[in-house]
Structure 1
Amino acid sequence: MNWLAEHPEVRTIRVAAADLNGVPRGKRVPARFAQKLLTEGTKFPYSVLNMDIWGEDIEDSPLVFETGDPDALLMPTERGFMPMPWLGAPSALLPIWMFHADGRPYEGDPRQALARVVDRYKAAGLTPVVATEMEFFIIDDSGKTLRVPPSPRSGKRRTGAETLSLRALDAFDQFFTRLYDACEEMDIPADTAISEAALGQFEINMMHQDDPLKAADDAWLFKMLTKGVAREFGFAASFMAKPYDVWSGSGLHMHFSLLDAEGRNVFDDGGPKGSDTLRHAVAGLLRAMPGSTLIFAPHENSYDRLVPNAHAPTGIGWAYENRTAAIRIPASGPKARRIEHRVAGGDVNPYLMIAAILGAALNGIEDGQEPPPPFEGNAYDKGLDQLPGTWNDAIEAFGTCPEVKRIFPQHLIDNLMMTKRQELHYMAELTDEETIELYLDTV
């Protein structure tokens, strides 16, 4: 309540949880009921966290008619109240997550799934240190075709991509200044911003932190915030995997290392290659990659990004300091030795993505798995085993993968399978224009 007491101007609260697609689901509540939210929580149907991308019930889900669509209990996360700087009226956001009435975590909640993986690490005496790289497009979607918006400074539109261009960043300086100020208000650790390889595409990195749940919260909240701030300037910010056919898509890369009880990085062996533990983690990531592709590429549009020679990995392999690899070991000092996972698109649910990566790495460490040798050169030319090439293939692989079953509870696996099969069925009815309209703001 301290934050609310310091902001008496706040009149309304939004309570929100992430569904399986990462879409915020919640309620608007008058601020005078804030104390009740903190002590008693609120209630949603269980089915609300298991809706399709349109926000519709899953037709064959046992959470709906079969069981009477019962309510679950949702309680505040550790985050507490925070501002919603993109709204015109002073408002507060209270992130929440789902439990049963008796206090047990609900296994269909993506945030609870990540907490389950974090608990496995705690039991092993390890602490993951996590950072994400958030790529997104800013888009003028006011006409029939998508275009880069005009610069608020010059009124001109960019005509080409300008990788690491200060001119491209400065053209939207007002937007980025507003976005960084809002990140500071929301305690989102936004670090470096760059212009990326596609028209109107940018990336903002998050600082490393030793709390994977907060890292996932930050990525989820950053998406919400960036979309809202962009609309203040009259354009859209989109994290969809590939809004333009002719340009590369957006990824959501994750870097992580692991600390032991003494705070030492267990990936560090004092040399450039990393420890046995690093190799075991890489092996676990590679083994789980086909089955977990649905987490990293959850939508139909996701597979337009995962094509050869488009700055996104398609082969299952690892390498040192090589951005064509699905798993990259960046060049660094030994104490900063870490793994970069490069498969996920910007359209992912951050909770499920981080859970899938950390869970697979821990599988490999627990089993002492050894990866194949790292490759050198262009991954697209190496004849590597390939990721599932279609959405349908990824759905089927997810449902049968033993590594995935070690990471996620069966209830969540079943729910996500039903969700994606329903979306696959109804997406076939949409035109390309309708598909873009659907994904542009929702993911």
Structure 2
Amino acid sequence: MDWLREHPDVKTIRVAAADLNGVARGKRMPARSAQKLFEEGTKFPFSVMNLDIWGEDIEDSPLVFESGDPDGLLMPTDRGFMPMPWLEAPTGLLPLWMFHPDGRPYEGDPRQALARVVDRYDAAGLKAVVATELEFFLIDDSGRTLRVPPSPRSGKRRTGGEVLSLRALDAFDQFFSTLYEACEMMDIPADTSISEAGPGQFEINLMHQADPLKAADDTWLFKMLVKGVARSYGFAASFMAKPYDAWPGNGMHMHFSVLTKDGDNIFDDGGEMGTDALRHAVAGCLRAMPGSTLLFAPHENSYDRLVPNAHAPTGIGWAYENRTAAIRIPSSGPKARRIEHRVAGGDVNPYLTVAAILGAALNGIEDRLEAPQPFKGNAYDQKLAQLPESWGAAIDAFDQCPEIRRIFPDHLVTNYLMTKRQELHYMAELSDEETVELYLDTV
């Protein structure tokens, strides 16, 4: 409420929560409704957290007709209000998460699923520190063919990718300046930006957070912000896994370390190899990886990214300082020893992805799992077990994975499976052009 008092020009607000696909579902309200939101919350049907990618109900879901489509209670997260700088009118955004009317967390809410994993870390006397790196394309989608938008600075279009090119960044300097200013306003800790291998493709790193919920919030809000700012400049920003056949796709790499209550990094052995705990965490992530793939690659288009020699992992393995690996241990000072998980695409739900990775790592730490030997060289040339190669195979692996059911509540697993099986069925009716149109802005 303090934020609204400090911004009397804000007359309307948005309230929103992330559904299973990471899509923001919510309402527009007059600002005068804000006090009631904090005191009483607001209501959405439980089924709203479980819509498919088109925003349709899940057929035969018990959340809909069988139960009368009842309401859940949405309450503000501790994030509070923030601006929506991409809108013309001054507007406040209030992130929400879902509970039962009696105050119990709703197990079908992806943010609640991550909170459940964080609670497991707390019970073990541990704290996870998380950072994400997000890749996205700036795209002119005004015609029938996707292409790079003209530079707001020069009016020219660049047709090729330029890795770590200052010229490519400078071409969109106005956009990035606006974006970074908006990140400051929204308390999103945007750090380094670089140009990537695809035309109009960029990556921005978000700084490490000692609160995984805030790290996931930041990632979810950042995706919303980038898309909004891009539209204000007359083009699209897309986190779609693979918008162009001929160019690498968009990833969302996640770095994490684990601290004791005293702040000591349990992966730090004072040297370059890391501790047994690091290898246990790696082993947990590797064991859960086949079943987790559906969360890291949640859409049909996601599997166009996960192909050999396309800068995305396909084999289930780990290595030190090797970007072809699914799990990389970056070179760093010992105190910053961490794990980088490189499988997820830019099209993921950040809450489910962070929960899956941290949950799998904790499984490995608790069970003292032994990791296989790290490989050396090109992962695509190794004889590694492979990630599920298709969306359907990933759905089946998710369903059959005991690690997934250890991390996530059964209710969420059931809802997610119903959602993805419905999407798999209806996606078969879409052309390639319709698929791009569906995913370009949505994910």
Instruction: Tell me the TM-score normalized by structure 1.
Output: 1.00
Q: How many angstroms apart in 1 are the aligned matches of 2:261 and 2:132?
A: 24
Given residue 68 of structure 1, which amino acid in structure 2 is its aligned partner?
A: G
Q: How many angstroms apart in 2 are the aligned matches of 1:60 and 1:441?
A: 27
Show the counterpart of 2:214.
214
Show the counterpart of 1:56.
56
Is 1:437 the counterpart of 2:437 in the alignment? yes
Show the counterpart of 1:417.
417
Q: How many angstroms apart in 2 are the aligned matches of 1:232 and 1:43?
A: 31
Show the counterpart of 1:286.
286
Q: CA deviation at 1:261?
A: 1.2
Q: CA deviation at 1:99?
A: 0.1
Q: How many angstroms apart in 2 are the aligned matches of 1:219 and 1:155?
A: 30
Show the counterpart of 1:108.
108
Q: How many angstroms apart in 1 are the aligned matches of 2:256 and 2:214?
A: 14
**Structure 2 residues not aligned, in runs of 5+:** none
Q: How many angstroms apart in 1 are the aligned matches of 2:207 and 2:31?
A: 32
Equivalent residues in 2 for 1:22-421, closer than 5 Å = 22-421=22-421
Q: CA deviation at 1:323?
A: 0.1
Q: CA deviation at 1:164?
A: 0.2
Q: How many angstroms apart in 1 are the aligned matches of 2:33 and 2:18?
A: 22
Q: CA deviation at 1:52?
A: 0.1
Show the counterpart of 2:5.
5
Q: Secondary structure at the match of 1:75?
A: strand
Q: How many angstroms apart in 2 are the aligned matches of 1:293 and 1:134?
A: 18
Q: Secondary structure at the match of 1:194?
A: strand
Q: Secondary structure at the match of 2:253?
A: strand
Q: How many angstroms apart in 2 are the aligned matches of 1:400 and 1:118?
A: 24
Given residue 64 of structure 2, which amino acid in structure 1 is its aligned partner?
A: V
Q: How many angstroms apart in 2 are the aligned matches of 1:202 and 1:100?
A: 40
Q: How many angstroms apart in 1 are the aligned matches of 2:55 and 2:286?
A: 33
Give the 4+ runs in structure 1 shifted more than 4 A. Answer: none
Q: CA deviation at 1:159?
A: 1.9
Q: How many angstroms apart in 1 are the aligned matches of 2:382 and 2:40?
A: 56
**Structure 1 residues not aligned, in runs of 5+:** none
Residues 344-384 of structure 1 show CA distances to partners (whole Å, capped at 9, x for unaligned) of 00000000000000000000000000011000000000010
Given residue 26 of structure 1, which amino acid in structure 2 is its aligned partner?
A: G
Q: CA deviation at 1:421?
A: 0.3
Residues 317-368 of structure 1 show CA distances to partners (whole Å, capped at 9, x for unaligned) of 0000000000000000100000000000000000000000000000000000
Q: CA deviation at 1:160?
A: 0.9
Q: How many aligned positions are there?
A: 443
Give the alignment's Cα RMSD to 1 decimal. 0.4
Q: CA deviation at 1:400?
A: 1.0
Q: CA deviation at 1:262?
A: 0.9
Residues 24-52 of structure 1 show CA distances to partners (whole Å, capped at 9, x for unaligned) of 00000100111001110000000000000
Residues 238-292 of structure 1 show CA distances to partners (whole Å, capped at 9, x for unaligned) of 0000000000000000000011011000000011000000000000000000000
Q: Secondary structure at the match of 2:134?
A: strand
Given residue 423 of structure 1, which amino acid in structure 2 is its aligned partner?
A: E
Q: How many angstroms apart in 2 are the aligned matches of 1:270 and 1:34?
A: 50
Q: How many angstroms apart in 2 are the aligned matches of 1:197 and 1:334?
A: 30
Show the counterpart of 2:20.
20
Instruction: Tell me the TM-score normalized by structure 2.
Output: 1.00
Q: How many angstroms apart in 1 are the aligned matches of 2:4 and 2:234?
A: 30
Q: Secondary structure at the match of 1:58?
A: coil
Q: How many angstroms apart in 2 are the aligned matches of 1:232 and 1:35?
A: 30
Given residue 106 of structure 1, which amino acid in structure 2 is its aligned partner?
A: Y
Q: CA deviation at 1:60?
A: 1.4
Percent same amino acid among aligned pairs?
81
Given residue 324 of structure 1, which amino acid in structure 2 is its aligned partner?
A: T
Given residue 98 of structure 1, which amino acid in structure 2 is its aligned partner?
A: M
